[in-house]
Amino acid sequence: MLGQSRILLLFFVALCACEGKEARLHKFLLKGNIASRDRNWEQAMYYYGEAIRLEPCYADAWNNLGTVYFQQQRFEKAMENYDKALNCRPKFINALLNRANTSYELKEYFRAINDLEKVIELKPDTSVTYFTLGLTYTRMREFTKALDAFERSSKLTSAKQENQKIELAVNHAIVQYYLKNFDEATTELQKVAKQNDQEPNIYNTLSLIETELGHYAEAMNFINEAIRLDPLQSYYVNNRGYIFLLQDALISAEADINFSIAKDPNNAWAYRNKGIFYLKKNDFGSAERLLKQALEMDPFVDKIHFYLGMAYLKNGKKELACSSFKKSEKLNDKMITPDLLKSCK
């Protein structure tokens, strides 16, 4: 899996010099923003809560309170607060963008797109909107739409915003990888590396390309470089675990996959890899359970239908296996052999 960053928007105001309720609202909001900046979440929640007690439909405070919960990965609570912000102010662009990010994290991709389309109607020239849209379409395997969104975002991003330009270029290359345009993806990543060779996702994506090509030594070199640059990124460690799996280095694979699950229990790709691990250990019951869990967590996990089909087949569930294999073939996973298809006829 590929690591991608999120962009959240707080609503900031300057403290006004006027007296009365409005000044108190601004004061609480400003104090909450300062606490949020310092990652003092309890204090931030207190100040935003005080503002809401003073004005129950204060959309700015509801939005910022949602972001406090988001930063703590309490996505359901974040969603509740963004909903309240938008009930108070339906055209609040920051809250729409934040709710779209939250929907993305909750894997409610159609809801994310709905909010992003509302933002485009209100303000069609916002780079971050198209960036988030590109990430969402990537997760949904709508790769042509994802490329278009990233390209639109890049056009709206100033040349002075170098980091954003690099992130967009990397994500564009990631979609090329998913489309199996490996030469194009490699060329794009090499170009980005000339601008910033310290971006770990460049090497993570190059590793995924080499893995697909069966070049495991090269893949391992790239993924180790990504991990060197960002040692605690569970996606990278999980991807190294997958390379170990493909080489039947099961002890090393299990260590990396377990680290990834412990670091991020919501990473469906890590559960997929743990399922593959059990397939290779001939523990087909555990493999089926974990692969089904991965599919329930995120139906867009790569090659999930093939591996689940293999687990079903090993457990004597031929009808379910063949159904999974057909889904894998439809998604162009390039994992299904002629013999497997023949056995399903």
Q: In this model, does residue 164 exceed pLDDT 50?
A: yes
Average pLDDT (167-180) is 94
Domain residue ranges in the chain:
13-108, 125-197, 200-285, 302-345
The yes or no reply on domain 13-108 and CATH 1.25.40.10 is yes
Compute the distance between CA of residue 207 and CA of residue 192 in angstroms, rounded to an integer. Answer: 15
Local confidence band at 1 (pLDDT 50, 70, 90 cut-offs): low
C-alpha to C-alpha distance for 127 and 310, rounded to whole angstroms: 42
Taking domain 125-197, whether its CATH number is 3.30.465.10 is answered by no
Residue 234 scores a pLDDT above 90: yes
Count of CA atoms in the C-beta half-sphere (13 A) of 119: 26
Q: String of b and e for 210-232 (b: at least 16 CB within 10 Å)? A: bbeeeebeebbebbebbbebbee
Own/partner long-range contacts of 217-224 (Cβ < 8 Å, ≥24 apart): 219/243
Question: Is 16 a residue whose pLDDT tops 50?
Answer: no
Structure tokens at 227: 């991990």
Those residues whose C-beta lies under 8 Å from the C-beta of residue 235, and which sit 6 or more positions away, are: 1, 2, 3, 204, 260, 264, 267, 269
Mean pLDDT of 65-85: 97
pTM of the complete model: 0.85
Residue in 144, 116, 121 with CA at minimum distance from that of residue 131:
116
Distances (CA, A) of 17 to 21, 28, 51, 99, 127: 12, 14, 17, 32, 34
Q: Which CATH superfamily is domain 200-285 in?
A: Tetratricopeptide repeat domain (1.25.40.10)
Q: Given this chain, do its domains 13-108 and 125-197 carry the same CATH topology? A: yes
Q: How confident is the model at residue 137 (pLDDT cuts 50, 70, 90)?
A: very high
